[in-house]
Amino acid sequence: MNDGPLIVQSDKTLLLEVDHPNAEAARRAIAPFAELERAPEHVHTYRITPLGLWNARAAGHDAEQVVDALITHSRYAVPNALLVDVADTMDRYGRLTLTKEGLADSPEGTRLVLRTTDRPVLEEVLRHKKIKPLTGERLDDLAVVVHPSERGTLKQELLKVGWPAEDLAGYVDGEAHPIDLDQADWHLRPYQQHAVDGFWHGGSGVVVLPCGAGKTLVGAGAMAAAKATTLILVTNTVSARQWKDELIRRTTLTEDEIGEYSGARKEIRPVTIATYQVLTTKRKGAYAHLDLLDARDWGLIVYDEVHLLPAPIFRMTADLQARRRLGLTATLVREDGREADVFSLIGPKRFDAPWKDIEAQGYIAPADCVEVRVTLPEGQRLAYAVSEPEDRYRLASCSDAKLPVVETLAKQHAGEPTLVIGQYLDQLHEVAERLGAEVITGETTVKERQRLYDAFRTGEITTLVVSKVANFSIDLPEASVAIQISGTFGSRQEEAQRLGRVLRPKGDGRTAHFYTIVSRDTVDADFAAHRQRFLAEQGYAYRIVDADDL
C-alpha cells in the first residue's frame, strides 16, 4: 500500500487529496482522462467516463498510461474490474475510422469510407437500425461507403453504440482570407499557443480553459492558423461585441472585415460573429437564418461556450462536418448531459489547461459568498403554507422581511460599487425606493441604461438595482458587492456564469462579496441549498448567517 494522494472509488470517481505533497503530480497524471467534477477545499473529485477516456485516446494517450497513472498515485489497490474496464473502453476508440479515399476510376473523385481493423465491430454496428441507413455500398469485409452528408449523424450514432469513430477524413480549406495575430504589444501565453497547436493538429475539437484564461485569444490564434473566413457562434450580443473588440485589437482584422449577425444587425463579412439565439430563431416552423451557415465557404467555425450550445445547433453542426470546428469552453460538463454530442460533432478535447498554473497567474479570484437567512413574519408564513405550489416561490422571494436586510448590507458596503439583483419588478422598485437607487429592467431604454452604467463605472452612483432580464442581456459593469434578493430557476451553470461576471478579480485585490437573501423554511431556501453546493464545489468560501446577526 503506498501513500498516494488519490483514492479510486468503485463508482469510477477519483478522490484527490489536495493537501497531499504529491497532489500536483497526481493531478497532472489524471487530467487527460478524468473530468474534474467538484473542487471544494480539501478533496477534489474527478470522474472517469468513456468520453473522458476517448478524449485521452484522441490526444494520444493509451490505456497503459491511464492504468499506470491510477496505480502509481492510488493509495489503495485499484479494483481490477475498473482497470479492465478502462482498457476495454479505450480499446474501442479507433477501431472504426472515417477516411476519405480516392476513386480508382476517376482520379479527382473521392468518397467517404468507414473502415475498421476488426471485422466483427463493423458487422455489429452495421446491424444497428439507425446506422445501417447511413451507409452505402459495402466495399469489402472491412470497409463501407458513407454518404458525406451523414458524416456527423454517423459519428453520433456510432458513439451511442459505444464505438466512437476516429474522423480522419480531413476538412475543406474554405475561402482563404488573410488573418494574422498583431502581437506588437502582447504575446500569446504558452498554454494558449499549446491550445492552438493542439487544435490545429487535431483538425477539429474542443479547447477547455477556465473563465478568464483568454479563450478568445485561442480563437484568434486558431483563425490566424487557418487563414480563412470564419464563422464565430457566441452565446449573446454582449459576448459578440467583446469578441469583435478583442479581434480588432489582437489581429490584423479591421472593423470592416468583421460582421455581426444578431437580432439587431445582419452583416455577413469574412469574419462573422453570430449568436446562438439568432440561428435558432424559428419563423413559421423553420429556422430563418440557416442560410448563414452556407453564406460563405467558411474555413473555420468557432463555437464559444460549447457547454451552452443549444440542441438545434447540434443538428446544424451535423451537416458541417467537412469544416474545421473549434469549441471553446470552461467545462465539458453539460447540464443536459449532451457531452457525447459535443464529442462526436465538434470533436474530442484537444487541450485542457493545467488549472493550477492559471490560478497561480491570478486569474481565478475567490469571492466571499454569504447566504443571509430571514424568517418570514407569522402572517406570511401562514399565507405561504396555504398557497398553491406555483405561487410559493414568489411569496417566499418577495418577503418584506428581506428589505431591511438589503438596507443593512448596503449600509455596510457604503461607497463600494454594489449591484442588487432580483427577479420581481415590484420588489425591485420597492428596494430601489428604500435605497434611493435607480432601477434597470428590461423596459429601461438603451440610452438610459447606458447613462446609468457610465455613472456606475465612474463612481458617480454606487448602487444599482437590476432585474434578471437586465443583467442577462447587457454589458453589466463590474461590481465588488452583489446582493441577490430573488434568485432564478435557471440552471446552476447559468447562475455561475452570471456570478463570474460580477465577481471578476478586482484590480486592487479586494475581495468581492456576494450576498443572497433567502427566506428560511421555504422553497427559496431549497434553491439556496443547490446554489451553496454548486459554489462550494467550485471552491468558493460560503457562509450562512441569520439576518439578526448582521
- Of positions 23, 31, 48, 78, contacts other proteins by CB under 8 A: 78
| 401 scored as a contact of other proteins (CB under 8 A) | no
Of the two residues 50 and 205, which places its CB atom closer to other proteins in the complex? Answer: 50
| 80 scored as a contact of other proteins (CB under 8 A) | yes
| 22 scored as a contact of other proteins (CB under 8 A) | no
Of the two residues 1 and 104, which places its CB atom closer to other proteins in the complex? Answer: 1
| 24 scored as a contact of other proteins (CB under 8 A) | no
Of the two residues 295 and 544, which places its CB atom closer to other proteins in the complex? Answer: 544
Nearest to 234 by CA among 211, 252, 260, 255: 260
What is the DSSP code (8-state) at residue 346?
Answer: I
Distance CA 232, CA 219 (A): 9
Torsion angle of C-alpha atoms 190, 199, 47, 540, degrees rounded to 10: 50
- Of positions 88, 411, 543, 548, contacts other proteins by CB under 8 A: 543
- Of positions 21, 42, 190, 509, contacts other proteins by CB under 8 A: 42
| 85 scored as a contact of other proteins (CB under 8 A) | no
Distance CA 78, CA 83 (A): 7
Nearest to 499 by CA among 364, 360, 384: 364
- Of positions 11, 140, 388, 426, contacts other proteins by CB under 8 A: 11
What is the DSSP code (8-state) at residue 533?
Answer: H
Residue type at 318? A
Applying the rule CB under 8 A, the residues between 500 and 529 that interact with other proteins are 520-521
Sign of CA dihedral 317, 96, 159, 305: negative
Distance CA 245, CA 101 (A): 42
CB of 356 to other proteins, least distance (A): 18
| 137 scored as a contact of other proteins (CB under 8 A) | no
A 10 A CB-CB count for 190 gives 9
Distance CA 418, CA 459 (A): 10
Give 28-90 as a 3 state SS string.
HHHCCCEEEEECCCCEEEEEECHHHHHHHHHCCCCHHHHHHHHHHHECCCCCHHHHHHHHHHH
Residue type at 491? S
CB of 522 to other proteins, least distance (A): 13
Of the two residues 1 and 286, which places its CB atom closer to other proteins in the complex? Answer: 1
| 17 scored as a contact of other proteins (CB under 8 A) | yes
- Candidates 349-357, 475-483, 504-512, 533-541: pick the segment binding other proteins (CB under 8 A): 533-541
A 10 A CB-CB count for 80 gives 8
- Of positions 22, 24, 25, 43, contacts other proteins by CB under 8 A: 43
| 549 scored as a contact of other proteins (CB under 8 A) | no
- Candidates 73-81, 176-184, 331-339, 443-451: pick the segment binding other proteins (CB under 8 A): 73-81
Q: For binding to other proteins (CB under 8 A), which residues are involved?
A: 1, 7-11, 13, 15, 17, 38, 40-43, 45, 71, 74-81, 520-521, 532-533, 536-537, 541-544
